[in-house]
């Protein structure tokens, strides 16, 4: 860089019209083509979900929750559902617990497949945009076979689930997993084996686990630093079936930079997540008992809740999402719902991660955290 460029700063808006900025915008200050300051802006998707939920009853609330992140709909609606269950004192039947867990893991795989495509496209690998999305269609078929809907599945409901498995829906799900597994190694080769891909991602947006946790990052973004921080293992939810399964939290222990993760590590981490999810689904499908899929008293008990406060949490695809719920005596609607989306903090952390990277790498930093605007705008 010539000295006269170093003195001058340029401000550039990345988004909201940019193709990769689907519903967000960041103001970048550049010196040459190095970003020295990043100011993420939120609010383009804001639909005041928290206020809207104060006027919807406890069964309707979960339908709003899943619309915050359609890619992980089964997971997104769960924290609200479990918070209602805690206050109402509902007991989820064993079959429903296992079915929930299976579908939540299927949702995780589907969401990660979407991310592979999106992240690769953001880096210019357009072949990889379409291939994982073709396999993703099979998961959408499985969701459709189960619930009649491809995205807004409305599956979890206070007290259990809405739709029972059929032989066909299980076979479509198994088919989707088989197809994905047969193509997985191809995708791994295409991404990890590509020298260009490695050059674009290695050493980009590197942070330590301590930094990441301080900024509020969670999920694969922290597990890629070698910290097995995973709610599925740490505090197994009594209304889910993770304790019935023999599995380990997937983590990456990097030899070059132990305790830290860069964009490449986080991509590898997301491949590992898929393997774990497949393993969990396979084990649970074998253990599926017969029985009810919903607490028979669910409808009456979730109609009016006693006074209380509850905190529902789930380990989503992108990290920890939680719902804090307060109800008043015999109320039909919540008094206060606070949603914590995992991407709220991922997006915030761009402020710390971006300064110092080159302008072309900005989207790599953003994409490697797997943020979804619905989660921070709500």
Partner 1 sequence: MSSIDLISITALVRKVQSDLPEIEAKMLNESHVEFVTPKEKIRDIVTLLTESVQMLFPESVIGIDLEEDKYEVIYMFWSHLNNFLCQVRVSLDGPDPSIETVSDIISGLEWHERETHEMYGIKFEGNPDLSLLLLPEELEGKYPLRKRFKTDRSRLAESGLPQPKPRPPKGGATE
The three-class DSSP label of residue 326 is strand
Long-range Cβ contacts of 328-336 (<8 Å, 24+ apart): 330/304, 330/305, 330/306, 331/304, 331/305, 332/57, 332/58, 332/303, 332/304, 333/53, 333/54, 333/55, 333/56, 333/57, 333/58, 334/53, 334/54, 334/58, 334/61, 335/54, 336/50, 336/54
Span from 178-186, 237-245, 290-298, 321-329 in contact with partner 1 (CB under 8 A): 321-329
Helical residues (DSSP H) of 193-259, grouped into ranges? 195-201, 209-215, 220-223, 231-234
Give residues 196-215 in contact with partner 1 (rule: CB under 8 A): 208-210, 213-215
For the record, the structure tokens of 251 come out as 């983590």
Q: Is 156 in the site for partner 1 (CB under 8 A)?
A: no
Does 377 bind partner 1 (CB under 8 A)? Our answer is: yes
Tell me which residues in 229-248 interact with partner 1 (CB under 8 A): 229, 234-235
Residue 22 interacting with partner 1 (CB under 8 A): no
Footprint on residues 36-55 left by partner 1 (CB under 8 A): 42-43, 46, 48, 50-51, 55
Q: Provide the minimum distance between the beta carbon of 292 and partner 1 in the complex, in angstroms, as a whole number.
A: 27
Least distance between partner 1 and beta carbon 376 (Å): 8
Whole-number minimum distance, CB 76 to partner 1, in Å?
Answer: 16
d(CA 44, CA 26): 12
Instruction: Name the residue nearer to partner 1 (CB basis): 66 or 230.
Output: 230
With contacts defined by CB under 8 A, how many residues of the chain interact with partner 1? 38
Burial 302-315 (b: 16+ CB within 10 A, else e): beebeebebebbbb
- In the numeric block, the tokens 């939540």 are attached to 104
Residue span binding partner 1 (CB under 8 A) among the ranges 129-137, 171-179, 266-274, 348-356: 348-356
Coil, strand or helix at 254: coil
Q: Which is nearer to partner 1, 149 or 208 (CB)?
A: 208
Burial class (CB in 10 A: 0-12, 13-18, 19+), 17: exposed
CB of 197 to partner 1, least distance (A): 28
Q: Among residues 259, 296, 306, 356, which is the contact residue for partner 1, using CB under 8 A?
A: 259
Rounded-to-integer distance, Cα 92 and Cα 296, Å: 10
Q: Segment near partner 1 (CB under 8 A), from 5-13, 132-140, 152-160, 221-229?
A: 221-229
State yes or no: residue 13 binds partner 1 (CB under 8 A).
no
Of 80 and 138, which CB lies nearer to partner 1 in the complex structure? 80
Instruction: Rule CB under 8 A: choose which of 114, 264, 344, 375 binds partner 1.
Output: 344
Least CB distance to partner 1 at residue 283 (A): 24
Looking at the DSSP bridge assignments, the partners of residue 37 are: 29
d(CA 34, CA 20): 19
CA 150 – CA 296 distance, rounded (Å): 27
Task: Please say which residue, 4 or 256, places its beta carbon nearer to partner 1.
Answer: 256
CA–CA dist 328, 340 (Å, integer): 21
- One residue of 27, 56, 162, 326 binding partner 1 per CB under 8 A: 326
Run of H or E including 362:
helix 362-368
**Nearest distance from C-beta of residue 211 to partner 1, angstroms:** 9
Residue 378, interface with partner 1 (CB under 8 A)? yes
Cα R_g (the chain), whole angstroms:
21
Return the number of the residue (52 or 190) whose C-beta is nearest partner 1.
52
- Residues forming the site for partner 1 (CB under 8 A): 42-43, 46, 48, 50-51, 55, 208-210, 213-216, 218, 226-227, 229, 234-235, 258-259, 311, 320, 322, 324, 326, 335-336, 338, 340, 344-345, 348-349, 352, 377-378
């Amino acid at each position: 860089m010539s000295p006269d460029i170093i003195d001058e700063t340029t401000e550039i808006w990345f988004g909201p019209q940019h193709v990769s900025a689907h519903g967000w915008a960041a103001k970048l200050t550049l010196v040459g083509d190095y970003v020295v300051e990043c100011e993420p802006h939120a609010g383009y998707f804001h639909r005041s979900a928290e206020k809207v939920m104060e006027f919807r009853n406890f069964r309707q609330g979960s339908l709003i929750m899943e619309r915050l992140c359609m890619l992980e709909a089964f997971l997104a609606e769960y924290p609200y559902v479990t918070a209602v269950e805690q206050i109402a004192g509902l007991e989820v039947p064993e079959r429903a617990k296992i079915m929930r867990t299976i579908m939540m893991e299927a949702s995780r795989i589907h969401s990660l497949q979407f991310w592979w495509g999106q992240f690769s496209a953001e880096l210019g690998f357009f072949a990889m945009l379409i291939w994982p999305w073709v396999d993703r269609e099979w998961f959408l078929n499985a969701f459709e076979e189960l619930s009649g809907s491809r995205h807004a599945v409305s599956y979890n409901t206070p007290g259990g689930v809405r739709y029972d498995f059929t032989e066909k829906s299980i076979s479509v799900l198994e088919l989707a997993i088989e197809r994905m597994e047969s193509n997985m190694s191809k995708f791994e080769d295409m991404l990890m084996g590509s020298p260009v891909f490695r050059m674009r991602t290695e050493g980009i947006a590197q942070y330590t686990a301590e930094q990441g946790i301080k900024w509020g990052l969670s999920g694969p973004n922290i597990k890629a630093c070698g910290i097995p921080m995973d709610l599925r293992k740490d505090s197994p939810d009594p209304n889910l079936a993770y304790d019935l399964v023999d599995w380990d939290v997937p983590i990456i222990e990097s030899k070059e930079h132990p305790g830290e993760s860069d964009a490449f590590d986080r991509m590898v981490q997301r491949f590992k997540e898929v393997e774990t999810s497949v393993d969990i689904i396979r084990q649970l499908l074998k253990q599926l008992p017969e029985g009810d899929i919903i607490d028979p008293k669910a409808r009456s008990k979730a109609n009016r809740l006693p006074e209380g406060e509850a905190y529902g949490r789930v380990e989503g695809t992108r990290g920890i999402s939680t719902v804090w719920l307060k109800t008043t005596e015999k109320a039909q609607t919540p008094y206060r719902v606070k949603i914590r989306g995992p991407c709220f903090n991922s997006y915030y952390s761009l402020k710390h991660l971006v300064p110092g990277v080159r302008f072309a790498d900005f989207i790599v930093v953003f994409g490697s955290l797997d943020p979804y605007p619905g989660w921070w705008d709500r």
